[in-house]
Amino acid sequence: MVDRNENIVLFDGVCNLCNGLVRFIIKRDPAGKFKFASLQSEAALVLLEKPGVSGSGLDSIVLITGNEYYLKSTAALKILRELGGFWKLFYFFILIPRVVRDFVYDMIAKSRYTIFGRKDECMVPTPELKNRFL
């Protein structure tokens, strides 16, 4: 069962950049505010059964908080804000129009496999992190 009241980050489980970002968040989130699921997982399919949000073909980071869904740059900025400390200062970029932010996001996303590589299968969490993954 998936608790939609948690902060849930959906990510591309075969993308090395995305897996690195998940490790980045975990390291800076000792309180465990965030839970994770790969976009390729059953949990993601269930979570993305919301009108207007489709899991098929989705290759963006997704942040789900309650009934709110955030994609691309907005999701990334909201995650940084929640991490607190120095990282919340990056939330200032939310003032840039979303179309501009998402254009930059899409340019990075389009070349992420070429630059950072990809895995043949999704990341498997260590036993101590297993409870953070859906």
The pLDDT tens digits of the residues spanning 33-47 come to: 999 998 888 888 888
CB count in 10 Å sphere of residue 68: 9
* Residue 23 within a domain: yes
| pLDDT for residue 67 | 82
Sign of CA dihedral 52, 53, 56, 58: positive
Taking the C-alpha atoms of residue 59 and residue 56, their distance in angstroms, rounded to an integer, is 9
How many structural domains is the chain composed of? 1
Q: Where do we find the tokens 């101590």?
A: 128
Report the 10 Å Cβ neighbour count for 130. 9
Domain hosting residue 79, numbered range: 7-127
> Token match 């389009």: residue?
110
**Cα–Cα distance measured from residue 134 to residue 40, given in angstroms and rounded to the nearest whole number:** 12
| 88 close to 77: Cβ distance less than 8 angstroms | no
Query: Is the residue at 62 inside a domain?
Result: yes
In a domain, 1, yes or no: no
User: Which residues make beta-bridge pairs with 118?
Assistant: 15
Residue 58: inside a domain: yes
Q: Are 8 and 34 in contact (CB under 8 A)?
A: yes
106 in a domain, yes or no? yes
Q: Which residue has the higher pLDDT, 54 or 50?
A: 50
Do the domain assignments include residue 92?
yes
pLDDT for 101 equals 96
Q: Over the chain, what is the mean pLDDT? A: 85
Is residue 72 domain-resident? Answer: yes
Q: Is the per-residue pLDDT at 123 higher than 90? A: no
**Is residue 133 a part of any domain in this protein?**
no
